[in-house]
């Protein structure tokens, strides 16, 4: 079973990224699976990036995955831009996709909203590079958060279209979206997903937030005018906090509701903040240690790139042959 996911090196990884994508990958590192996890730096440049910062963020992303439990022996960990076959396949898929299909992508619509014509072609084409990322490796399963489901479905459609046009070539991938944690909502606006591009830092819990910041953000998290702790999806803010609490402790939301019976929001938020900070502290320490040994990080990424390249080269040779551009 080949399992693959990828994240943008945006500098801020929040707990939504952690529970939506990275942690499921850590859990899937079991015998019989071949896992790939990569840093999509070419997706990141669909919006302007400072080059020095981008380099730092790529290393930070790699350090974070290792800190959370990605084992480079079990998971091929690499940087997307090192494997030129991703952009090569994206071009070929571009020629199979229709403009209307990309115009329907909700993430594009969200990101392009209000920008008029000042939107990069890269941002529009982003789902095709993502389809190439997935199809290049004959991926069976793609663990992602809810917001990426539509993109994985487009990759499925394109795999089927290519196979129908040129003969069996690609495995048809499927998204795997966990039940809890697939859509962590913004702390300041529980009707929208937690997002690193949110206008306020109070929207997300970054993996690098210190104890004081975590407490401040959770204390100011939007709840409602109720006073008891219950798990009810219509109480979106509280339900989101309970989901986060459940993910960091491994307890069910029912257990947590029982623990907080007779207590109010104040106690609940202080309890949650303490738990989140204790959860993050060892991760932060490992990230910092890992960043101090840059040569080790570079070597892990080099080895990952070599392993990914071997798979990607073989697949692209087949794709070129299928579409008729290989002459001998």
| Cα angle 117-121-124, degrees, rounded to a multiple of 5 | 95
111 carries an active-site annotation: yes
Residue number of the CB closest to ligand TYM reads 20
Asked if 271 touches ligand TYM (CB under 6 A), the answer is: no
Whether 260 and 226 have beta carbons less than 8 Å apart is answered as: no
Q: Scanning residues 55 to 74, which ones bind ligand TYM (CB under 6 A)?
A: none
149 carries an active-site annotation: no
Mask of contacts with ligand TYM, 102-141, x by CB under 6 A?
A: ----------------------------x--xx-------
Question: Given the complex with ligand TYM, which of 260 and 280 has the nearer CB atom?
Answer: 280
Q: Which residues contact 181 (CB under 8 A, 6 or more apart)?
A: 19, 20, 23, 243, 247
| Number of chain residues interacting with ligand TYM (CB under 6 A) | 25
Residue-wise burial string across 8-24, b where 16 or more C-beta atoms lie within 10 A, e elsewhere? bbbbbbbbbbbbbbbbb
Of the listed 149, 192, 196, 315, which one is catalytic? 196
27 carries an active-site annotation: no
Supply 277's token pair: 């900070």
CA distance 42 to 48: 11
Of 313, 265, 300, 266, the C-alpha closest to 76 is: 300
Mask of contacts with ligand TYM, 153-192, x by CB under 6 A?
A: -----------------------------xxx--------
Q: HSE-up of 13 (CA within 13 Å, CB side)? A: 29
Asked if 20 touches ligand TYM (CB under 6 A), the answer is: yes
CA distance 238 to 82: 43
Q: HSE-up of 12 (CA within 13 Å, CB side)? A: 15
* 2, 3, 17, 301: which one binds ligand TYM (CB under 6 A): 17
Asked if 193 touches ligand TYM (CB under 6 A), the answer is: yes
Asked if 308 touches ligand TYM (CB under 6 A), the answer is: no
CA distance 78 to 201: 29
Asked if 202 touches ligand TYM (CB under 6 A), the answer is: no
Of 110, 108, 100, the C-alpha closest to 46 is: 108
Question: Given the complex with ligand TYM, which of 130 and 260 has the nearer CB atom?
Answer: 130
Q: Which residues contact 165 (CB under 8 A, 6 or more apart)?
A: 96
* 2, 3, 6, 158: which one binds ligand TYM (CB under 6 A): 6
Question: Given the complex with ligand TYM, which of 54 and 270 has the nearer CB atom?
Answer: 54
- The catalytic residue positions are 111, 193, 196
Which stretches of the chain bind ligand TYM, using CB under 6 A?
4-8, 16-17, 20-21, 40, 43, 130, 133-134, 142, 144-145, 147-148, 151, 182-184, 193-194
């Amino acid at each position: 079973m080949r399992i693959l996911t990828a994240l943008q090196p945006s500098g801020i990884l929040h707990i939504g990224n952690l529970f939506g994508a990275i942690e499921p990958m850590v859990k899937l590192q079991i015998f019989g699976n071949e896992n790939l996890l990569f840093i999509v730096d070419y997706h990141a440049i669909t919006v302007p990036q400072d080059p020095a910062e981008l380099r730092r963020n790529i290393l930070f992303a790699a350090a974070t995955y290792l800190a959370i439990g990605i084992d480079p022996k079990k998971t091929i960990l690499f940087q997307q831009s090192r494997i030129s076959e991703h952009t090569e396949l994206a071009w070929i898929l571009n020629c199979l996709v229709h403009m209307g299909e990309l115009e329907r992508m909700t993430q594009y619509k969200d990101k392009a909203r209000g920008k008029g014509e000042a939107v990069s072609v890269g941002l529009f084409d982003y789902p095709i590079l993502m389809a190439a990322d997935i199809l290049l490796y004959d991926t069976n399963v793609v663990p992602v958060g809810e917001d990426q489901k539509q993109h994985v479905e487009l990759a499925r459609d394109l795999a089927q279209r290519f196979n129908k046009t040129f003969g069996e070539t690609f495995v048809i991938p499927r998204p795997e979206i966990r039940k809890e944690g697939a859509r962590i909502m913004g702390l300041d606006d529980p009707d929208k997903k937690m997002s690193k591009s949110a206008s306020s830092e109070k929207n997300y819990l970054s993996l690098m937030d210190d104890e004081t910041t975590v407490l401040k953000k959770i204390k100011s998290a939007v709840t409602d005018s109720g006073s008891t702790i219950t798990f009810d999806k219509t109480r979106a803010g509280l339900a989101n906090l309970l989901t986060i609490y459940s993910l960091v402790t491994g307890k069910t939301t029912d257990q947590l509701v029982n623990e907080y019976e007779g207590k109010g929001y104040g106690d609940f938020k202080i309890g949650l903040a303490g738990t989140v900070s204790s959860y993050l502290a060892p991760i932060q320490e490992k990230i910092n240690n890992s960043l101090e040994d840059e040569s080790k990080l570079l070597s892990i990424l080099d080895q990952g790139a070599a392993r990914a390249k071997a798979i990607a080269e073989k697949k692209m040779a087949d794709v070129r042959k299928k579409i008729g551009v290989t002459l001998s």
